[in-house]
Amino acid sequence: MLGASMTTTTRRPTAWSARLSLAPLGLALLLAGPARARDAQLEGPLPAPARLRVGDFVVDWTPRGGGALSVRHTAALDREAWGSRPGRGFVAARRSDLELPGQRGFFRVEERVRERLDRQTVDRVRAEGAGVVVEGRLLAPGAPTSVGVAGVLAGRAGAPGGADPANAPGYRLLLEAVAPSALRVTLSLASGAGATAVELVGASDPDERFLGFGMQFTHLDLKGRRVPILVQEQGIGRGLQPVTALLHLAGGAGGDWSTTYAPVPHYLTTRLRSLCLEDSAPSFFDLTDPGAARVEVLAPRLRARIFHGASPLALIEAYTAYAGRMRPLPDWAHAGLIVGATGGTDRTRALADALDRHGVPVTAFFLQDWVGERDTPFGTRLWWDWQPDAGTYADWPGFVRELRGRGHRVLGYVNPFLVEGRPGAPRDLWGEARRGGHLVPGADGRPVRIGQGGFDAGLVDLTAPGARDWLKALLRDELLGSGMSGWMGDFGEALPFDARPAGGSARALHNRWPELWQSLQAEVVAEAGLADEVLYFSRSGYTTSPGRTRLFWLGDQLCSWDRHDGLASALTGLLSSGISGFSLNHGDAGGYTNLRLGPFVFFRRTKELLLRWLEFAAFTPVLRTHEGLVPGARGGHGLDTDADTLDQVARITRIFRALQPYRRALMAEAAARGWPLVRHPWLHHPEQVELLRERGTFLLGPDLLVAPVIAPCRREVEVRLPPGRWVHVWTDQVVGDPGRTTVARLPAPLGRPAALHREGSAAGEAFVRALAAEGLRAPR
């Protein structure tokens, strides 16, 4: 679960700026120069006004105010779904020297811009078939504008001014309806333009908030930032100091606010605008200009979708009709806790006995060490060789049957890497894969070896049919064949950009690699006839991942409380990813990364952190623990460290079980409409933008408001309540105002997390009755 390196997303010096990167520390100094030419006005004679119908959308062009393009939906003609800034260019390109170096799952963009093409003309706006086409030219700074569009599109030199067509390539912007609530925008340049990146620039308001972008852990609102869309490791610390700086120095694994396993080129704004890219090339969403939303794709073509919706939830529904929706989880996942354990047969039996004695409802054991463990400088790691380790579990299939007989499913662990040299392995999987040509090669034709902090691993080529069939058979025989009910399908973010996969260029495939990995797992399960029975879960992802995996998890948070990489960041990750279609998501309760860095920096799970994280997780789709990077007592407090912890875990798991009917209904809704189970309150109250200032409260569906304790030593929480009357599930106290947002201070003793239901909600009343039936409170 751990990768290591560093990333700094930078631009090399250009004519408009210079940036000095202090690589190991991830610091940057920006030396601002003159105003950027990318803010250029539209140039040349502008065509006459036009209003053209495209499906259920209307495209307006006006030359007034210097020229502007606008897209509206016929159901909301008073509101732009997308529009350009009056008088400003809305299409640009650049010619660059581009490199994407990286190691161990971390990457950075190094771009030296040789020439910007951001002086735009608009020569024609016309209907073409069922769509609309906008055509014009892009010029470099200082180039004359007198190149005829016909000459450029034909690849000939225009006349007056002697401009070279190579410096004034034609562009074509095609708008076409692809669904009642979706308009596709395709930006392409004339052949021979030589562009390495293209840009689509829309208008924004200074106070407009931008949400989504996949699994973002530090910031929910990304306005004012340049957001990279590049699948990679999230890092350890991600800005929390001094751990981030120390991890950069120790191998470059610190990360920053922008690094994430599952970025998505998609946003939804408080002005009810929403856009996503269909492209897989690395991209940026530059929101640093208060008046603009700039989409940059590091490729010579851009394809996007603009969505219409009357509300935030309607926009999510429109978006997920394209990106895919997640199916309800197997019934058994609702029944109790999924227990992360390591240590072998005897240790797991002892833990199961302790949990049974204390009445903890356990539905499954997640035994990631079924393949055996190895010690590395980064802690205890697994042998990435996907067959049972007899030294850890002497009779693995028999032990799976034993636990199933006790009412406990078994989940394992797998990823798309392979290592060689595992002692005593029944099969030489590395040798099989190498002889079969199943490993991704580099430029030299040999398998790419990716460092993992103490060992190297090769990647199975998910684009090669033979390699896919080989890996599918391995998962079918070793995981499903041994009786497992699912697994953690880890990684997916490490394809190097200099690799040579069979299916095409690594630059085009890198962001899609998680989707390919998830599709392979889905095929294994479906072909076995177990699509409704097996649960596999993913941490990396991209646009269409929700339609390919069963469940997401948030990856490797620190065993800490902080907002950069701890418990607070897990809540931000759930809220942001839900907006981008990750409707079923959860995390490692208690965190994963427990480590010591010298004598003064020590992350070790405490009892309070474990229990508060479990309380939070009880209101998410799945309740699951993990022993962490350093398992056992060395890593901190565990489920069975003391009797009181076991009793508290039993209570929290019964809260999770009491929500079972409500969760089932919400999962059916997610499958039908793409709505997330864990939601920011703003999604139901878009007129209350001030709710976005709230970082510690979420809705489970429409009717249950939860304010988990995400800071240490707290016994009460301050809650910003959306408009309405809310009933505390433990005390029956009624708070809130139907007409406005209010703030309330509520008790939150350990074991009674602050949760409220909407007054009169049938689901809320049913939850309270279920809590009473579980013996957790008195009947009303």
Active site residues: 490, 493, 556
Q: What b/e sequence results for 232-258 when a residue is b if at least 16 CB atoms lie within 10 Å of its CB, and e otherwise? A: bbbbbbbbbeebbbbbbebbbbbbbbb
At 24 the three-state DSSP class reads helix
Q: Which residues pair with residue 617 across a beta bridge?
A: none
Cα separation, 452 vs 97, in Å, equals 29
Cα separation, 324 vs 538, in Å, equals 15
Number of H helices, E strands in the chain: 14, 45
Cα separation, 38 vs 201, in Å, equals 10
Contacts of 559 (CB under 8 A, 6+ apart): 566, 590, 591, 592, 593, 594, 603, 604, 605, 606, 609, 628, 635, 636
Tokens describing residue 530: 């177990």
HSE-CB at 226 with a 13 A cutoff on CA atoms is 13
Cα separation, 216 vs 234, in Å, equals 10
CB 291 within 8 A of CB 204: yes
Only one residue has tokens 């990318």, namely 38
Cα dihedral value 441, 442, 444, 450, nearest 10: -100
Extended beta strands in 241-378, E state: 263-269, 274-277, 283-286, 292-297, 301-307, 337-340, 362-366, 373-376
Cα separation, 60 vs 69, in Å, equals 6
Which amino acid, one-letter code, is at 279?
D
Rg of the chain over all Cα atoms, to the nearest angstrom: 27
Contacts of 150 (CB under 8 A, 6+ apart): none
Q: Which is nearest to 68 in space by CA: 195, 158, 203, 198?
A: 203
First to last CA, the chain: 45
Contacts of 241 (CB under 8 A, 6+ apart): none
Q: Which is nearest to 540 in space by CA: 620, 613, 459, 464?
A: 459
Burial category of 688 from C-beta neighbours within 10 Å (exposed 0-12, middle 13-18, buried 19 and up): middle
CB 589 within 8 A of CB 566: no
Cα separation, 343 vs 340, in Å, equals 11
- Please count the other Cβ atoms lying within 10 Å of the Cβ belonging to residue 578: 27
Tokens describing residue 48: 């006459």
HSE-CB at 356 with a 13 A cutoff on CA atoms is 12
Backbone angles phi, psi at 328, to 5 degrees: -60, 150
Alpha helices (runs of H) in 68-178, residue ranges in sequence order: 149-153
Prior bond of 242 cis (ω within 30°): yes
Backbone angles phi, psi at 684, to 5 degrees: -95, -10
Which amino acid, one-letter code, is at 744?
A
Helix H, strand E, coil C: the string for 159-192 is: CHHHCCHHHCCEEEEEEEEEECCEEEEEEEECCC
